[in-house]
Amino acid sequence: MSDNHIRVWDIFVRLFHWILVAVIGFAWWSGEQGGDWMEWHKRCGYTVLGLVIFRVFWGFAGSAYARFNHFLYSPKATLAYVAAMLKGREPLYLSHNPLGGWAVVVLLLWCTLQAGTGLFANDDIFTEGPLAHLVGYDLSIEITRWHKLLFDGLLILVAVHIAAVAYHQLLRKEPLLQGMLTGKKPASHRANQAADRIVATETGVWLKALVLAAIAAASVWGLISL
């Protein structure tokens, strides 16, 4: 790590981000294709659930900047950040800024609802979710309608996310993309000096991540086997 950069995002946060992007994209495509591709669509949903479960675990047990308590701010602090942003004077943060931190929570919850409704969905032709048998046919069809509506909402959230990244990247000259690729951000982007001294690595982090990933995978497997 260079003197003027700090490693913020560990490899697991970055893998989560880019795998989620790829899986959601493939889920969209496979869902549009229909037919045999629906099996892959379902697998994408299981993967999304596993990723979200892992990220929640990592938000409590992961490296410093990955933890929720490092980037979730009070409503007052968040509103103050928004007010500063509207004036073009918002401070730079090494981790997520207050608005971005809550956006992470919204996206995690939305992805959970998106994949969760898919478990009960039914296309009324060939494919149904693994838990569709737990609800009646009529309810399954209604859940399918919500599954589709939620995806429209997810596309809007993704568009807002991309627009926010473009704003910070192009107008505020904050290298968010580079940070999510390399894990490093400029050391000058400091909002809390004490917290910024925390290094985003720790002994046994790989073992911890593998254990949590295994628990997440087992949780999804157990869920779809009900």
Under the banding of pLDDT at 50, 70 and 90, the label for residue 126 is confident
Domain range for 42? 5-224
Taking the alpha carbons of 85, 88, 90, 96 in that order, is the dihedral positive or negative?
Answer: positive
- Which H or E run contains 165? helix 137-166
Tokens of 45: 């949903």
pLDDT of residue 189: 62
Q: Is the pLDDT of residue 201 over 80?
A: no
pLDDT digits (tens, 9 = 90+) for 135-190: 999 999 999 999 999 999 999 999 999 999 999 999 988 899 999 999 998 876 65
| Alpha-carbon distances, residue 158 vs 18, 19, 104, 152, 154 (angstroms) | 13, 15, 11, 10, 6
Q: Which of 206, 210, 202, 194 is nearest to 70 (CA)?
A: 194
Domain CATH number, residue 54 = 1.20.950.20
Q: Which of 1-10, 68-77, 120-129, 143-152 has the lowest mean pLDDT?
A: 1-10
Q: Cα-atom radius of gyration of the chain, to the nearest Å? A: 19
Domain count for the chain = 1
Q: Is the pLDDT of residue 196 over 80?
A: no
d(CA 160, CA 166): 10
Under the banding of pLDDT at 50, 70 and 90, the label for residue 194 is very low
Say what the pTM is. 0.91
